[in-house]
Structure 1
């Protein structure tokens, strides 16, 4: 009897084990880098084992490296200062020479072809942001900015798509019948959608509504697009979407992922990032800067005329999906939350803040800094990006664009509600207003600095500026501009006399710890030029090889 029961029990256990689902094998993460800094890009070489990546370690300039999974060491490659954009099946690299930040989240440089085995770069085209090889390795798809608008071209000069915002992370499909990319709806923001465009220029959106989305590649079989994104905040996970728009989760870990490449064997290169955006300011009467960061992604919007208050937005995890507008004293007092959106400009009397909600197209709203109710300021279809009050407190200047058009600068009186353009189409959306309120300094479609008369008329070229410089403030008497080059670390701010062209160094701005700093932005100077605030982005990356993702 006992033997029979034991036999029955054994059969039952065996059946249970046979019927129990097999345990799913988990992906294996192999760390490839061990230094402190930011990894910009990485690609598999044709052998699937050698890895080429670009990184800036310990606050030093960007360099090109090679490594393999079995070695903890990386070797530097030439040319120096290059960013790897793509590697062809035949082993030819597409590099960005002199790669530098052009805007937030965007880098540009001179596109060049370099054999993986070594050789001199063959320069192809300037000011290219992204590139990818066709499967046969004969030509490249590129993204570049032309007259203020982002263009996806394949082959170069044949425009397949123009964006109202910006284009990122393009990849040609294995069949070369379409190109996948990330379609970002707003400049300066990494929210957006996964899209594909065919060779006739027909664009299809596969998945949208992502609050932060960076990093994209085709799956090994070419039937899915893999990407890293999140619906809320900044901690991106890894997803896949097929051409029918069905999304599935591939991997989620604590922290922020960015997909860089997918090999033919399904292995993945990605980074796990620790990102922070912060603010540093010098308060009136003080000799030492103070870190004014509040939550995890503090973006300076404006500084009061006396330099004692900074308006800023929180656009990361802490700010939530609708973002949040704050006002903080530059003496380090706690910040006060004013409402939802992104802070843009303070009224001359300090009683109101201009903000824009985290939607596209984005209107302008007024938030009280004290007692009062929020008010909608604009009621049109224009997408508003930046805005500042004129000194009279009755009118404002804003940068905006309509669907299918580049950015322009406008003057508007809230009482009248009829914006008037004062610049041509295609200008940079960032600008500064003169102390008298009669001129607006900005960057034109040709990337040169101009003074745009508020009353209207022909813009005035500021001929003494250097390439890639942008205005960030005016001297108190209105006779000079403060200019700097975006992407330069530290940011060297120069005072430029408008009548003589004389240049005089003013400030060198950067956090004391330069590791992972690749952007200095939002430099705002008080009316008397004795106080200032600026923003920075710090990204600390670890590069991983991941096996077993399906």
Structure 2
């Protein structure tokens, strides 16, 4: 008996004696089909199943270039999956192989596909050999396949296959034309013919945070009018598409995910109010689902969820130093009792016996998905690795959930997790973010928001150049840092089809130079010729590497045995500060002396974003931009030699020191957005200039200012589940 694996290019077949395992050996690696793993020195390498499928298919067809379309059909089981899902899998396969060898294994043949190019040391314990075609051809790799082949050729489930096609279907088919909005019928690409996925919103404005009414007939979402992009409002539309109506008037509904009440008569949303001391605190508001004036419901609260019978409500109560999940009667929400801390995005199961929630603040911070029994109070953790999460929904069986989550440094994907256990299963891959899943009560429809975001580099000289000039076009950059002379901007360029790149961009000529390729983040200048950065996976040990911008030669400065979350290098380059993950969502601030080879933990219990050293050894950082715990957000300073930090501003992000170290510059978002300056000795923050919407990070040298301007639009999609 033989196992037949068809090759579409020439219809040849290969065989291996039945019961004999096939192990492909190359460059010191072993790709085992029976155990479905890639090993180096006998140790299995960490590799996603889909990436392993791709590698295995390329090895089997190593004598030719495999077209992208063929890989998508054979590995995913469908033709209309987004190419970005394939690029992601190839990227992960390359990264896994790179742990053992620097040799090229998968070659991109531009315009055609991919080819496995590494020499095999041997064909395997069971040698593959051509055989003549059978008299009666049997279906390719069916019941007789090895476990790897079976995994490779079984079609994906409907949810995973259709949701992964989102990127191929992003077609903004028209413009909003006032109020009410009547979008044109979405056009469907020819490659996606037959797919049930439908785009419900389109036009100039972004649309986010969709949620079904309990009967599944109406869908709410949050958007804005083109003439007022800084004012988010609540809209409703039929769940099958059609005219949408704006329910609120510039209420700035920028808080956590809005929901319908159990009887569908009202919508509960949250918005931030600015306190007397400048802090942003959320409140819960209600508005009729047919319109009317909004009314304040619960102060200091966000993210509500209602039981199906309408008797109970759960929401996040924001306290002075923490955010806790509370549960209580709908008619007396102020009497709700704490059931978890922290806790966000509560969602009742269809039978109201369980309450799912996350310990991840939707506005920033990783955490877990948990499920609490209403009767017993028992809490189960459903995820093993922390993620930042943005929305969750129960499936109608009450035994599984869909949630939006991203690992450190990644993008938001939709995942499915089961109550009985097992790791979450990704249902989407690719460029952009998939967020805010909502499932209709009868389980027939899944709604979510998707956006293919851009983040381009801009630069301005002096406060008079308000708009800035673009250094990049339609790209995604992170962590821009100006060189000491202001001539170059170093940043990390992220793309779906290749690994990340550390690049410099000449401000005058826009000329780009690639410095490093791989898992790279948080670059910092060390003098005028060297850039230091974090390298390595975001969930494992981290290297600190320095690269010469002229020669591109790099050297490892030091190594941490944890996944460092941020990086700052002191003047002179001999002291390094990083953020070390701690339990839950908090971090520790660690300073390493490279000469003494010693570490000093100088802070703990906060989120240390955007670390910066000052001229005298002080360290500045910011908390999440809109943290659920006012005690940790804002701009912070740890003076040199001090035992505890001081907060310079109650909100803001991206701090950096002035040249003389006497003040700290930072940015604010929302209606008070712009660049601010505050003295390190304390005092009132002074606004220096405005910023457009979507400034995520910036740097300044002298009068020159460089920043990342995020753009791109989210739209709402609906996918039938039956």
Fold match, TM over 0.5?
Answer: yes
The alpha carbon displacement at 1:64 in A equals 0.9
User: Of 670, 695, 704, which residue of structure 2 is paired with 1:520?
Assistant: 695
Q: Secondary structure at the match of 2:401?
A: strand
User: 1:48-127 maps to which residues of 2 (within 5 A)?
Assistant: 48-58=216-226, 59-69=229-239, 72-78=242-248, 80-82=251-253, 85-91=258-264, 92-98=266-272, 109-116=282-289, 118=292, 120-126=294-300
Match of 2:214 in 1: 46
Q: 2-side partners of 1:151 and 1:397: how far apart?
A: 31
Q: Is residue 32 from structure 1 mapped to residue 200 from structure 2 by the alignment?
A: yes
Counterpart position of 2:399: 223
- 5 Å-filtered alignment, 1:289-438, equals 289-293=468-472, 296-318=475-497, 320=499, 323-331=500-508, 332-339=510-517, 340-360=519-539, 363-369=542-548, 370-375=551-556, 377-381=558-562, 383-404=563-584, 406-438=586-618
| Structure 1 residue runs without a partner (length 5+) | 1-23, 101-106, 511-516
* Structure 1 residue 126 displacement after superposition: 2.3
Q: Report if aligned partners of 2:515, 2:552 keep a CA contact under 8 Å in 1.
A: no
Once residues 201 and 489 of structure 2 are traced to their aligned partners in structure 1, the CA distance between those partners, rounded to angstroms, is 38
Aligned partners of 1:406 and 1:427 also within 8 Å:
yes
Q: 2:308 aligns with which of 135, 139, 143?
A: 135
The structural deviation recorded for 1:499 is: 5.8
Contact map agreement 2:654 2:697 (CA 8 A) in 1: no
Higher RCO (CA < 8 A, seq sep 6+): 1
Is contact 2:488–2:507 with CA below 8 Å preserved after alignment?
Answer: yes
Residues 52-82 of structure 1, C-alpha deviations (whole Å, 9 max, x = no match): 2211342342111122257633222136222
Residue segments in structure 2 that go unaligned for 5+ positions in a row: 1-157, 159-192, 275-279, 329-335, 624-629
Q: Distance in 2 between matches of 1:298 and 1:250?
A: 26
- Contact residue 355 and residue 367 of structure 1 kept, 8 A: no
- Taking structure 2 as the reference length, the TM-score comes to 0.59
Q: 1:509 aligns with which of 666, 673, 691?
A: 691
SS across alignment from 2:713:
strand
Q: Matched residues in 1 for 2:488 and 2:369: separation?
A: 39
Say which of 707, 711, 719 aligns to 1:538. Answer: 711
The structure with the greater share of residues assigned to helix is 2
Q: Distance in 1 between the 2:317 and 2:538 partners?
A: 25
Alignment length (residue pairs): 497
Q: Structure 1, residues 91-119: CA drift from partner, whole Å, max 9, x if none?
A: 3432112389xxxxxx9732234454556
Q: Note the C-alpha offset of 1:88.
A: 2.6
- Name the CA distance, whole Å, in 2 between partners of 1:306 and 1:70: 56
Residues 422 and 454 in structure 1, CA contact (< 8 A), matched pair in contact too? no
More deviation, 152-161/327-336: 152-161
Matches within 5 A, 1:114-263: 114-116=287-289, 118=292, 120-126=294-300, 128=302, 130-143=303-316, 154=327, 158-160=338-340, 162=342, 170-181=346-357, 196=371, 198=373, 200=377, 202-205=379-382, 215-227=391-403, 234=411, 236=413, 241=418, 243-245=420-422, 257-263=434-440
Could you tell me which residue of structure 2 aligns to residue 479 of structure 1? 662
CA distance in 1 between counterparts of 2:415 and 2:622 reads 39
Residue-by-residue CA offset, 1:476-514 (whole Å, 9 max, x unaligned)? 2333332332x326831123345684654322222xxxx
The alpha-carbon distance between structure 1 residues 177 and 341, as it changes in their structure 2 partners (threshold 3 A), is: farther
Rate the CA distance shift 1:38–1:398 in 2: closer, same or farther, 3 A.
same
Alpha-carbon distance in 1 for matches of 2:419, 2:667? 44
Deviations 1:341-394 (A, max 9, x none): 21332223532412143323553421323454442623344x421211111321
Change (3 A) 1:237 1:90: closer
Quote the RMSD (CA, aligned, Å): 4.3
Q: Aligned equivalents of 1:39 and 1:243: distance in 2?
A: 34
The answer on whether the counterparts of 1:234 and 1:316 sit within 8 Å (CA) in structure 2 is no
Find out whether 1:451 has 2:640 as its counterpart. no
Counterpart Cα distance in 1 of 2:581 and 2:406: 26
Determine if the alignment matches structure 1 residue 278 to structure 2 residue 489.
no
State whether residues 41 and 53 of structure 1, in contact with CA within 8 Å, keep that contact through their aligned partners in structure 2.
Answer: yes
In structure 1, how many angstroms separate the alpha carbons of the residues matched to 2:640 and 2:281?
A: 32
Q: Which deviations, in whole Å up to 9, do the C-alpha atoms of 1:281-309 show, x marking residues without a partner?
A: 23799968332347743112533222223
